[in-house]
Amino acid sequence: MSKTIAVNAGSSTVKFKLFDMPSEKVVAEGNIERIGMDMGHAKIKYGNGQVSEEEKPFPTHGTAVSYLLEQLIGLGIVKEYHEINAVGHRIVAGGEFFKDSVVIDDDVMQKISELAEYAPLHNPAELQGIKAFKQVLPDAFAVAVFDTSFHSNMPDMNALYSVPYDWYEMYGARRYGAHGTSHRYVALRAAEMLGKPLEDLKLITCHIGAGASITAIKDGKSFDTSMGFSPLAGVTMATRSGDVDPSLVAFVQSKLGVSSEEMIDLLNHKSGLLGLSGLSADMRDVQAAAEHGNKQCKLALEIYENRVLKYIGSYLAELGGADAIVFTAGVGENDIDFRQAIGDKLAYFGVKVDPEKNNVRGEERDVSADDAKIKVLLIPTDEELMIVHDIERLRKQA
């Protein structure tokens, strides 16, 4: 039986799922975290509830992928690498090059590299993963699935910035968004849960994790999204600032005496929850400190929640209402209080979260009250399954 592996590389993580095909049964899954930090953590679930965990440094995404491939053999998950005949890679930035998933060749890899400036935390890491897999599995059918492709056909009024139009024509200056694979998956699941065609629904999907984005979906397509030219824009995130006045960026850069590259690094790695709290990028750490009276952490949480609320509110106005608001990703799936707070503050629009239904983590569920005018859905994302579906679609076309 052939196997397909879906690889989802984040800025400091590598997640994977290994599927038996064509049944789409998951035979192994796991993640490697804290890549590039002093000590990393690897966890692989396989077999009948077996788990392998190890703490060790993973200096780069390439070393993390090499470790993962070694473990697949070492743990007996596969006997030989050629059992894996297809690999799908999640890539954040596809720019104007890629409006759909594509089979990976040298030209595609070159373009992914060229697009690194659009997603500096992700594209270089994801390219490392592609190269590492190609070394071990050179004959596997390899596909790149782009986060930006779902947003590539947004209306121009939402895709373009209020800057000279030449900037778009010459430099591709536009809103590209991200997390498109996740938004696409939860939108399809929401349509199934609501028993209606996706094309007939107006949805607001909230991918709230270390990276976070919110998308308005209309006629089955991305209508607007919070991330912009790069994944730095939008709501407050774990270490990313979200929206900031460009004049403030120039002002602080001058005061600090740093380069533009160093300034972007500060906004990507030292801002967000981490920068506001002065303590941690992890929501759980910030919440615990806030509960013990840390005023700076309390303020960080208020800002984090406020920015999400603003985007949802603006999208309700743009869409003329919504059928459902969907929460997914780490915080969206697991933070009960966060979902409740957002729902309560949107009561004016007919949103109503049932506290009893909402008392759940990571389980697909309608958490809205029976009389809610706008449904609130908790849908764990499955970007890896979407990647597998794109692989099979492109394999049939090859």
393: number of Cβ within 10 Å: 12
> Does residue 234 contact residue 214 with C-beta atoms inside 8 Å?
yes
d(C-alpha 129, C-alpha 125), whole Å:
6
Q: Pick left, alpha or beta for residue 47 (phi over 0 → left; psi -120 to 50 → alpha; otherwise beta).
A: left
Q: Of 384, 23, 383, 380, whose CA–CA distance to 193 is shortest?
A: 380
- For residue 146, the surrounding DSSP H or E stretch is strand 141-146
d(C-alpha 172, C-alpha 252), whole Å:
26
In DSSP terms, which residues pair with 217 in a beta bridge?
A: 203, 222
The CA-atom distances, in angstroms, between 255 and each of 241, 248, 250, 259 are 18, 10, 9, 11
In DSSP terms, which residues pair with 377 in a beta bridge?
A: 326, 366
> Does residue 208 contact residue 234 with C-beta atoms inside 8 Å?
no
| Catalytic residue positions, numbered | 147
Mention every residue, 6+ apart, whose C-beta is less than 8 A from residue 162: none
Using CB atoms within 10 Å of the CB of residue 116, give its burial: 0 to 12 exposed, 13 to 18 middle, 19+ buried: middle
In DSSP terms, which residues pair with 376 in a beta bridge?
A: 325
Cα-to-chain-centroid distance, residue 50: 27
Q: What is the DSSP-derived secondary structure letter of residue 374? A: B
d(C-alpha 36, C-alpha 88), whole Å:
23
